Structure 1
Amino acid sequence: MSKKTLVSAITAALVVGAASTTFAAANPFSDVPADSWAYDAVSTLAADGVIDGYPDGTYKGQNTMTRYEMAQIVARAMAKTDIDKADKALVDKLAAEFAEELDNLGVRVADLEKKSDNVKWGGELRYRYYDADHDAGEDSTYNRVMFRLMPKAYIGESGWTANARINYSLDMGSANNAGFDPTDNDASVDLAYVEGPLFGGTVQAGRLPAFTATGLVFDDRIDGVQYTGGSDVFKTTVTAGRYRNDLATSWVNGTNLGKGFLDAFDEHISNSDITTDFYGIQFDYTPNDKLALNLGYNALTGIDFDDIDAEKAYGDTDAQIWYLGGTYKFNNSLGLSAEYAQNTSADDEDDAWRATLDYKGADPADAGSWGMYAGYADLGSNSVPAPTYDDVAGGQKGFVAGVQYVPAENILATVQYFTGEDNDVDGDNDAEKIFSQIEFFF
């Protein structure tokens, strides 16, 4: 990157901080004359301490800049607090681009961010619609808007943060076999936890997100503690806590049509509550950019259904689930993902697996990016408690496919399709589902 390009980019974000002055500061560089296009920008940035020159008093604007030189300038820019939100967004993008160089220079991006704003807000507005058909049961439609806020507060200089997730779900006319009132709307704080460094790793404590087996086994929230330690190559995650789902369980009846227990309050499939202790350990091995493997174990003990005899409905009050899987990238565009899990406590319908061929990938930060997948999944009714998928559900098996597209920055559109069967139903058990969603991130 040339210094001319740099000045054009950074001045847009930083010259605002000096807008109260009528004239630019005195130019300290002998090789930037007053009639130069860059005179005002260079002198202003130099006065603000964002850029400096060479010992001989020159700027040498025609020279090519190294990434480390650029990282130094980005660090100084991030330390400024007198720029508005739009301009700060540009500086944040530059920080993300040069994050590795900033780390090597001993500059932590998160540390610089929290100096200027102790509480950071993120979130999304999501519209989701799907239609699910069943030969052996009633069909379902889902039509909802969700507004989500995710504040993060920095706790002094400790490296710890307090995190929360606040949801408001607005029904637009869903219909299913649970007798759910479509006029019912829902507000909840479904995450509230602290996170920080401890014993050489990272600890989370509170009502926190738990995600195992790349989503095949569990994607939900628990009340407990989670520790992650290790390196970029080999990482270990240990989880322990209490799990409660207030509205639905697909595990017993195999009728979940959505994203596992995480969105259970949206799905309203059953009126049963479930409470259980949750324990897990997962090992992740990522030796290079092409290969990523995982191996783990989840235990749910003392399963208690508030209005169902767990011994009769499920066959046991414990679940011992082992799993393994991974991904392999053939090149930058094509990859293979596969995951297998088995509940050794169940007598039948005890295993689950999914394999997909993945092409490219949609990145919400990259407008115009897109990705697609196709594969097969088989989720035994008694195998996995809270899978993350929006296409196939517990108790189903069949073909899955989907595509994602980013029409503009921070807008993600998703369409998914499932065709197969409800494999724990006798007779005509064909099933089909079309899922669509658009998300606006902020």
Structure 2
Amino acid sequence: MAIPVILTTAATTSIAFAAANPFSDVPSDSWAYDAVSQLAKDGVIDGYPDNTYRGQHNMTRFEMAQIVAKAMARTDLDKADKATVDKLAAEFSEELSNLGVRVSDLEKKSDNIKWSGKLKYKYKQQNHDVGKDKRSNKIELRTEPKAYIGDSGWTANARIKYVFQPEEASNGDVSIERAYVQGPLFGTTVTAGLTPLEVTQGVLFDDTISGITSEFGSDIFNTKIYLGRYSEVDHADKKDDPSNKDITADYYGVQFDYTPTDKLALNAGYINLNGLDDNKLITVKGNEANIWYAGTDYEFMDNLHFVGEFVQNTDAEKYKNAYFMELRYKEAKANDPGSWGMYAGYRSFGDNVTIETAFDDVDTNQKGLVVGAAYTFANNITGELQYFNGKDISTDTDADTIYSKLEFKF
């Protein structure tokens, strides 16, 4: 990164250039003199120990991260400048972490409430040899406010979802998908409220529980404990995906994550759903499910990952297993226009173990081959195209799905 990037940062912070220059290698007649002097005065840049600036040298990502950290700590940025700094913070988040700088700590100094969200257009066409074909055409808006609770390290978080289906004569549906507080307690990170479930890489759930979670450990070995109540009222947009199970149960779970290197991640866990109020999740005992799972994400070549997960409900009478395996090549990154990724794999989602899967290319009670690709058209604008060809498990008949999505992040 060449030094003019610093000057771009300076220009977007609306600084009036009128300060003494502390650097011996930046003469007063230099085109960069005013910008460098003011940035030094404002504490955004420090230069080197020998009082030089070395503007002719390329800047390292580590050096740029230091500038970003100082810029984020400022409270006098206008809205447009803050948006620029937020983008830089996302780009240099890893370097900021290595500096011991928590981006969330810097954000709360400039704004007590942070908003983010997504606007999505989705189209899904499902075809079945036996059963009814379905088409879904919808617009979905998610907003996610985060409020910092003083200097306690705690935050209040929510996710509000609006779904509009153009073919229906209605104004759409609004739901609160998440509402929880999160913060440090006795050496752990605690989440309480309508809190997200982040288990089984999305095979079993893409949902929430009403309860509490506790997370503790290190970057290498981490443990999450979940206690709460799982209910159908936590599900959003049921009519769009009626395969989601309408169940209510007490939820107890634990997940272990092991990441020995930056190329290998392993997970394993156990979930107990107790007091199931109906038989849509069929079990041997009639009102209890004991679910075990394990999975991996292994980068065995540059940009090429093998990803998989296996989940089993040991109390189910039949269709008790769910699993997927796939190869992923590259990735469409929202902040990197022109980036792209693709995948190919196999899925088998037994009807008595998957409850609300996070996968868009296949539903519960289906198995078969999948392929997909994603592309970043512009900053924070991405598109996806996915295809499934296989069978409906219970009838052993052919089925296929085409899914597409255009997403705008903000």
TM-score, scaled to structure 2: 0.91
Q: Which residue of 2 aligns with 1:437?
A: 405
Distance 1:435 1:387 in 2: 15
Aligned partner of 1:297 in structure 2 is 270
In 2 relative to 1, CA 281–182 (structure 1 residues): closer, same or farther, beyond 3 Å? farther
For 1:357, the equivalent position in structure 2 comes to 327
* Contact 1:143–1:171 (CA under 8 A) maintained in structure 2: yes
Gap change, CA 1:44 and 1:323, over 3 Å in 2: same
How far apart in 2 are the matches of 1:57 and 1:422? 70
> Does the aligned pair in 1 maintain the 2:245–2:281 contact within 8 Å?
no
Contact 2:283–2:316 at 8 Å: present in 1 too? Answer: no
Aligned to 1:382: 352
Cross-structure match for 1:256? none
Report deviation, 1:276: 1.2
Which deviates more, 223-232 or 36-45?
36-45
1:133 to 122, 127, 133: 127
Q: Give percent identity, aligned residues only.
A: 54
Indicate if the aligned counterparts of 1:191 and 1:207 stay in contact, CA closer than 8 A: yes
Corresponding residue for 1:250? Answer: none
> Counterpart amino acid of 1:10?
T
Pair 32,245 (structure 1): closer, same or farther in 2 beyond 3 Å: same
Q: Name the residue aligned to 1:234.
A: 221
The residue aligned with 1:148 is: 142
Q: CA deviation at 1:84?
A: 2.2
Give the direction of change, closer, same or farther, for the CA distance of 1:379–1:6 in structure 2 (3 Å limit).
Answer: closer
Alpha-carbon distance, 1:91 to partner: 2.6
TM-score with structure 1 setting the length = 0.85
**Alignment partner of 1:76: what SS?**
helix
1:368 lines up with 2:338 in the alignment: yes
Match of 2:205 in 1: 218
Matched, 1:346 2:333: no
* Separation of aligned partners in 1, 2:139 and 2:160: 14
Does the 8 Å CA contact 1:303/1:310 hold for their aligned counterparts? no
In the alignment, which residue of structure 2 is the partner of 1:258? none
C-alpha distance in 2 between matches for 1:101 and 1:435: 36
Aligned to 2:380: 410
1:328 matched to 2:298: yes
Distance 2:330 2:187 in 1: 35
- Residue pair 1:154, 1:162 contacting (<8 A) in 2 also: yes
Counterpart of 1:337 in structure 2 is 307
Determine the structure 1 residue equivalent to 2:116: 122
SS of residue paired to 1:46: helix
Q: For 1:79 and 1:335, locate their aligned partners in 2 and report how far apart those are by CA, in whole Å.
A: 37
Which residue of 1 is the match for residue 4 of structure 2? 5
Stretches of structure 1 that go unaligned for 5 or more consecutive residues are 174-180, 247-260
Q: Residue 176 of structure 2: which of 178, 186, 189 is its match?
A: 189
State the distance in 2 between where 1:50 and 1:116 align. 15
For residues 348 and 60 of structure 2, the distance between their equivalents in structure 1, rounded to whole angstroms, comes to 51
Q: Tell me how far 1:107 sits from its aligned partner.
A: 3.5
Residue type at the aligned position of 1:406: T
Residue 252 of structure 1 is matched in structure 2 by none
Q: Is the 8 A contact 1:13 1:83 kept in 2?
A: no
AA aligned to 1:282 is: Q
CA distance in 2, matches of 1:333, 1:312: 40
C-alpha distance after superposition, 1:389-421 (max 9, x if no partner): 111111111111111111111112111111111
**Higher Rg:** 1
SS in structure 2 at match of 1:286: strand
The one-letter code of the counterpart of 1:153 is: A
Q: Deviations over 1:335-363 (max 9, x none)?
A: 21121111111111111111111111111
1:280 aligns with 2:270: no
Where 1:287 maps in the other structure, the secondary structure is strand
Q: 1:57 to 1:294 in 2, by over 3 A?
A: closer
Q: Which residue of 1 aligns with 2:238?
A: 265
- Give 3-state SS (helix, strand or coil) of 1:349's partner: coil
How big is the shift at 1:57? 6.1
Which amino acid is the alignment partner of residue 37 of structure 1?
W
1:434 maps to amino acid? I
Alignment partner, residue 253 of structure 1: none
For each residue in 1:241-282, what CA deviation from the matched residue of structure 2 results, as whole angstroms up to 9, or x when unmatched? 111114xxxxxxxxxxxxxx8554351537984211111111
Structure 1 Cα separation of the partners of residues 372 and 54 of structure 2:
52
Distance 1:311 1:434 in 2: 27
Q: Distance in 1 between matches of 2:47 and 2:358?
A: 53
Write the distance in 1 (CA, Å) between the matches of 2:343 and 2:285.
36
Distance verdict in 2 for CA 1:116–1:304, change over 3 Å: same
**Conservation of the 8 A alpha-carbon contact between 1:12 and 1:87:** no
Any idea what the Cα deviations from partners look like across 1:210-256, whole Å, max 9, x if unmatched?
0211111222111011111111111111111111114xxxxxxxxxx
In the TM superposition, residue 86 of structure 1 has moved relative to its aligned partner by 2.6
Between the aligned partners of 1:136 and 1:341, the Cα distance in structure 2 is 27
**2:154 equivalent among 135, 141, 160:** 160
Q: Are 1:371 and 1:405, in contact at CA under 8 Å, matched by a contact in 2?
A: yes
**1:199-210 to 2 correspondences below 5 Å:** 199-210=186-197
Match of 2:232 in 1: 245
Q: Distance in 2 between matches of 1:312 and 1:379?
A: 14
Deviation at 1:183, TM superposition (A): 3.3
Give the RMSD, CA atoms, in angstroms: 2.6
